[in-house]
Amino acid sequence: MDDKLMLMIPGPTPVPEQVLLAIAKHPIGHRSGDFSKIIGECNEGLKWLHQTKNEVLTLAASGTGAMEAGIINFLSPGDRVLVGNNGKFGERWGKVAQAYNLNVEIITAEWGQPLDPEKFREKLEADKEKEIKAVILTHSETSTAVINDLETINRHVKAHGEALIIVDAVTSLGATSVPVDEWGLDVVGSGSQKGYMMPPGLGFVAVSPKAWKAYETAKLPRFYFDLGPYRKTAAKNSTPFTPPVNLYFGLQVALKMLKDEGLENIFARHLRLTKATRAAVKALGLGLLAADDVASNAATAVAPTQVEAEEIRTVMKKKFDIALAGGQDHLKGKIFRIGHLGFVSDRDILTCIAAIEATLQELGYESFTPGAGVTAAAKVFAES
Amino acid sequence: MDDKLMLMIPGPTPVPEQVLLAIAKHPIGHRSGDFSKIIGECNEGLKWLHQTKNEVLTLAASGTGAMEAGIINFLSPGDRVLVGNNGKFGERWGKVAQAYNLNVEIITAEWGQPLDPEKFREKLEADKEKEIKAVILTHSETSTAVINDLETINRHVKAHGEALIIVDAVTSLGATSVPVDEWGLDVVGSGSQKGYMMPPGLGFVAVSPKAWKAYETAKLPRFYFDLGPYRKTAAKNSTPFTPPVNLYFGLQVALKMLKDEGLENIFARHLRLTKATRAAVKALGLGLLAADDVASNAATAVAPTQVEAEEIRTVMKKKFDIALAGGQDHLKGKIFRIGHLGFVSDRDILTCIAAIEATLQELGYESFTPGAGVTAAAKVFAES
């Protein structure tokens, strides 16, 4: 049916009506006092969401742009960096670092597995000359729905003392606690179409005082993504270039909604949605790509063995107007991903699981008890 | 009054209701067939607006980001470039070129004056070694409302043979004819919040085959702004990174509206609005910054001598909810700018001029005949 689409992909995520209506307002001048107030309120809300007193800067860019800004503002050509790669996004940050002629060392883990913090510890401890200038990694790897042990890896970075930690929190921010100040995260990048309950188009970068110190001597070329002018203008509730004013209107409303819900409730909700989804998938006898203890709260990657992942996606879209994400690169056709990030409620999970059950029946998959998925999800909701 | 703002600044410009409502739709998956169709339609519309068969690529970025992409994809460190600077934006492209360690030669003209094509001719003719790799200039200089003689300067660039011409058409595209293929413009950058009748958040870059040839050997570092992947994915109606899907919804509608109006009508309308505004300003005895023959069709810069520019802006905003733009940098307080770019009609000019007359009365400015401004504008409309 037209206009009946239900987004259950890990971005873009569903957007609340009040956010959409705010975005539909007539633009106002970006240098007006009225707009300054909106920027000011957004900046405060972003700090709250990031649990930080540091600046959180907003760019007209996707999350990739925000991460690129987070990398190129604090490093110089030839700088040695460690990049964690256990999926599509970790892989991408390695490519960004290479494009800027950094001395890149990639620490890999198989897609579906988390990065091993020990490998970071070994490299960092062996670096007596303090040549490693940054460790770049993805917190929640969206392509596999695996969460990396950022807390432990960050502890090893802190023990090194010199290296900055640059974190892709694109699908962890607003789903999982990312305590920027408590952990001392230097650079944290994210994008609006994820936990923010917003359409895509805005990128965010949180920057620590230690990173600003590195900025002073960092020599990689940049202009649009030069964070210095963003910092300077943010202090005056302004921006260096024309900001996407309508997206700011939406961000103001979305951040208010998030504040009203409260950080603890937001994180508990995402955890509950994840547990319910995984319990349902297990009850249906479908495989899970990631183990329970490394499951991201943003999405669940399902790896069915007796039925084609792409067939499930096709029927779900065609018959029930539910968009699920496929696998990327070599996981294409092997997994499908259920997004439960952002403006997603318990009811949405019940809906999605019920539709998956109906789809499995349609596809003639017989190794499950009809109703078992919904029942398993309902049990999680009843108990939490 | 709340929600009563009328935007008469040269960006963001007013947005039609049907565009705003399209932007307010629920996002859909950016890798879906439905979204591919939208991308395809937008890409076709962009080519039409640019009068080109070349690719016109869309970035999640402001116009500055689009121009930076247009510069850094086709040049290598140390390349000699000529940059025209007769205002805030020309100045900015010089800074971008310097940030990327190009060998930058600035050709200036006083703010309010056009660039002198002869100065370009001299430099280009003297360059027997063909060291000049690009000429970068702003077509319509928004900060002063002056239009540069792109056609003539481009002819000199063509005579040189080697250099690319890289054009900031941010406030000329959709207001004035920019015949990309006919003139052989290599790179043309623009932004959505101008002639496109859209909110800010999208940047556009048109790229010629000659520029793509230069791309193959260009060595400046880039990732998010690397236009190669944009070109490759555009051919498949896709994008390299998550696009601002809601802004695309709006762009699709806006481009359709522009097509329905037709290029000749759009350009004639902007010319008429410009003539009416200038006639009115003259009739009111207020000064104009730019001479008639170099007036941009995007905006009119008024340089009042007997009354404070900022006082006019303040009263216009406070009493009549009309936003006018001020001067930038050393023109701050010396001029105000009336934007008549994008979704602006004859009626809007009458409204704005009537309010300026009322404001002048309020400020006790006596050297004008009340009604003279509106009458002069009406005369232009009656005659065209």
Q: Mean per-residue pLDDT for B151-170?
A: 98
Beta-carbon separation of B241 and A65 below 8 A: yes
Q: Using an 8 Å CB-CB cutoff, list chain B residues near A243.
A: 62, 200
Q: Using an 8 Å CB-CB cutoff, list chain A residues near B65.
A: 60-61, 224, 241
Give the pLDDT score at A61: 98
The answer to whether B112 and B232 are in contact (CB under 8 A) is no
Residue to test with chain A: of B58, B92, B224, most A Cβ within 10 A? B224
Closest CA to B54 of B188, B175, B254: B188
Residue A173 distance to chain B (closest CA, Å): 17
Specify the residue for token string 């600035």.
B106
**Domain co-membership, A142 together with A275:** no
Closest residue in chain A to residue B96, using alpha carbons only? A223
Question: Sign of dihedral through CA atoms B213, B219, B220, B226?
Answer: positive
Q: Mean per-residue pLDDT for B326-344?
A: 97
Residue A131 CB coordination number (10 Å)? 13
**Domain co-membership, B285 together with B225:** no
* pLDDT, mean over chain B: 97
Closest residue in chain B to residue A224, using alpha carbons only? B65
Quote the CA–CA distance of B1 and B3 in Å, as a whole number.
6
Give the pLDDT score at A363: 96
- Residue A21 in any domain: the answer is yes
**Beta pairing partners, B167:** B137, B188
3-state secondary structure of B171: coil
In eight-state DSSP terms, residue A187 is E
**Beta pairing partners, A191:** A203
**Domain co-membership, B285 together with B339:** yes
Write out pLDDT tens, residues B40-79: 999 999 999 999 999 999 999 999 999 999 999 999 999 9
Beta-carbon separation of A60 and B63 below 8 A: no
Q: Which two tokens stand for residue A291?
A: 């183990």
Beta-carbon separation of B9 and A23 below 8 A: no
**Domain co-membership, B250 together with B273:** no
Domain limits at A236?
A: 17-260
Beta-carbon separation of B29 and A221 below 8 A: no
Give the pLDDT score at A103: 98
CATH code assigned at B61: 3.40.640.10
Beta-carbon separation of B199 and A244 below 8 A: yes
Specify the residue for token string 């002639």.
B195
- Residue A11 in any domain: the answer is no
Q: Which helix (H) or strand (E) holds A381?
A: helix A372-383
**Domain co-membership, A50 together with A137:** yes
- Residue B161 in any domain: the answer is yes
- Residue B29 is nearest to which of A62, A241, A323, comparing CB atoms? A323
Give the pLDDT score at B45: 98
Burial annotation B351-362 (CB, 10 A radius, 16+ → b, else e)? bbbbbbbebbee
- Residue A40 in any domain: the answer is yes
Domain-terminating residue out of A220, A239, A260: A260
Q: Using an 8 Å CB-CB cutoff, list chain A residues near B342.
A: none
The answer to whether B265 and B335 are in contact (CB under 8 A) is no
The answer to whether B363 and B339 are in contact (CB under 8 A) is no
**Domain co-membership, A360 together with A216:** no
**Domain co-membership, A205 together with A310:** no
**Domain co-membership, B249 together with B363:** no
3-state secondary structure of A383: helix
What's the domain count of chain A? 2
- Residue A8 in any domain: the answer is no
In eight-state DSSP terms, residue B234 is H
Residue numbers of chain A with a pLDDT score lower than 70: none
The answer to whether B59 and B205 are in contact (CB under 8 A) is yes
The answer to whether A114 and A86 are in contact (CB under 8 A) is yes
Residue A290 distance to chain B (closest CA, Å): 24
Residue A219 CB coordination number (10 Å)? 12
Please enumerate in sequence order all residues whose Cβ is within 8 A of that of B37, keeping only pairs 6 or more positions apart, or say none.
B237
Q: Mean per-residue pLDDT for B221-233?
A: 98
**How far is Cα of residue A246 from the mean position of the Cα atoms in its chain?**
22
- Residue B368 in any domain: the answer is yes
Compute φ and ψ for B222, nearest 5 degrees: -170, 155
**Beta pairing partners, B206:** B56, B188
- Residue A101 is nearest to which of B62, B65, B221, comparing CB atoms? B221
Give the pLDDT score at B49: 98
Closest residue in chain A to residue B247, using alpha carbons only? A201
Domain-terminating residue out of A202, A227, A260: A260
Q: Which helix (H) or strand (E) holds A155?
A: helix A150-160
Pairing outcome for strands A164-168 and A132-138: parallel
**Domain co-membership, B224 together with B329:** no
Please enumerate in sequence order all residues whose Cβ is within 8 A of that of B300, keeping only pairs 6 or more positions apart, or say none.
B145, B274, B277, B278, B281, B288, B337, B338, B340
**Domain co-membership, B274 together with B244:** no
In eight-state DSSP terms, residue A178 is -
The answer to whether B241 and A61 are in contact (CB under 8 A) is no
Write out pLDDT tens, residues B41-52: 999 999 999 999
Give the pLDDT score at B7: 97
The answer to whether A208 and A101 are in contact (CB under 8 A) is no
Domain-terminating residue out of A260, A284, A303: A260
Beta-carbon separation of A241 and B64 below 8 A: yes
**Domain co-membership, B214 together with B236:** yes
Supply the Cα-derived Rg of chain A in whole angstroms.
Answer: 21
**Domain co-membership, B200 together with B312:** no
In eight-state DSSP terms, residue B307 is S
Specify the residue for token string 């920019």.
B178
Closest CA to B195 of B165, B172, B225: B172
Beta-carbon separation of A27 and B200 below 8 A: yes
**Beta pairing partners, B83:** B106, B136
Give the pLDDT score at B26: 97
Residue to test with chain B: of A204, A223, A318, A329, most B Cβ within 10 A? A223
Quote the CA–CA distance of A234 and A231 in Å, as a whole number.
5
3-state secondary structure of B88: helix
Beta-carbon separation of A200 and B99 below 8 A: no
Beta-carbon separation of A12 and B200 below 8 A: no
- Residue A172 in any domain: the answer is yes
Quote the CA–CA distance of B70 and B79 in Å, as a whole number.
15
Q: Using an 8 Å CB-CB cutoff, list chain B residues near A12.
A: 27-30, 242, 245
CATH code assigned at B346: 3.90.1150.10
pLDDT category at B28 given cuts 50, 70, 90 is very high
Residue A296's region, left for phi above 0, alpha for psi from -120 to 50, else beta, is beta
Number of residue pairs across A and B with CB atoms under 8 Å? 173
- Residue A199 is nearest to which of B95, B96, B246, comparing CB atoms? B246
Residue A272 CB coordination number (10 Å)? 19
- Residue B97 in any domain: the answer is yes
